[in-house]
Amino acid sequence: MNKKLKRELFTYVSVLVYIITFTFIIIASTVVLHESGHFFVGTLIGCEDIEIVFLDQTFNTYTKLVCPQDLEQVMFLTLYISGLAFILPFAVILYLMSGYEKYYALIVLGFNFIISASDIANFPAVFGYTSLILGAALLVYGEMLLISSYLKHIEAKKSMSTFFSRR
């Protein structure tokens, strides 16, 4: 294998590793913020014994809490959607960035809709399924845009270096 091909292959593998690593960090942050939303709202509405559990024996993540039985239904609904809502400012900040980072907003929203499906399951079932489908679509679309953005950047960089090396 010649040096140019090795260098190009190394560039693409490096980008792939970077995307996978940063996506993992973004998704882990999304889980933490999502569960923090439940924790924060649970605290505000008077729930007790609140505990965020990350990766139990079955690799599930959730927020355990004991809420008063006389709590109004609207407070329970607020608690259910608090994880989804807590992510929105984070996603908006990512979307307002000028570079490829804005595509991470779609990944964050998509993953958040996926993990919120179990919370939304307390509403009619159609909302849970819609959350899953919307989340998967946003996640895949965001990853496609992100990878496309990186590939365009690499191709532009490669054409610039070819242009300058010919001079």
Instruction: Determine the 3-state secondary structure of 79 from DSSP.
Output: helix
143-166 mean pLDDT:
73
Q: What pLDDT, on the 0 to 100 scale, is given for residue 2? A: 85
Neighbours of 56 (CB within 10 A): 10
Query: What is the per-residue pLDDT across 118-146, written as a single tens digit (0 to 9) for each?
Result: 888 778 888 889 999 999 999 999 999 98
| pLDDT beyond 60 at 7 | yes
Query: What is the per-residue pLDDT across 26-44, written as a single tens digit (0 to 9) for each?
Result: 999 999 999 999 999 999 9
Determine contact, residues 132/114, Cβ cutoff 8 Å. Answer: yes
Residue 159: band (very low, low, confident or very high) from pLDDT cuts 50, 70, 90: low
Residue 163: band (very low, low, confident or very high) from pLDDT cuts 50, 70, 90: very low
SS (H, E, C) 47-63: CEEEEEECCCCCCCCEE
Q: Tokens at residue 147, please? A: 């990878």
| pLDDT beyond 50 at 22 | yes
Q: Is 109 exposed, middle or buried (0-12, 13-18, 19+ CB in 10 A)?
A: buried
pLDDT top residue among 41 and 19: 41
Q: What pLDDT, on the 0 to 100 scale, is given for residue 158? A: 67
Q: What pLDDT, on the 0 to 100 scale, is given for residue 107? A: 94
Specify which residues 52 forms β-bridges with: 63
CA 79 to chain centre: 20
Q: Tokens at residue 73, please? A: 């239904």
% of the chain beyond a pLDDT of 90: 44
Residue 27 amino acid letter: I
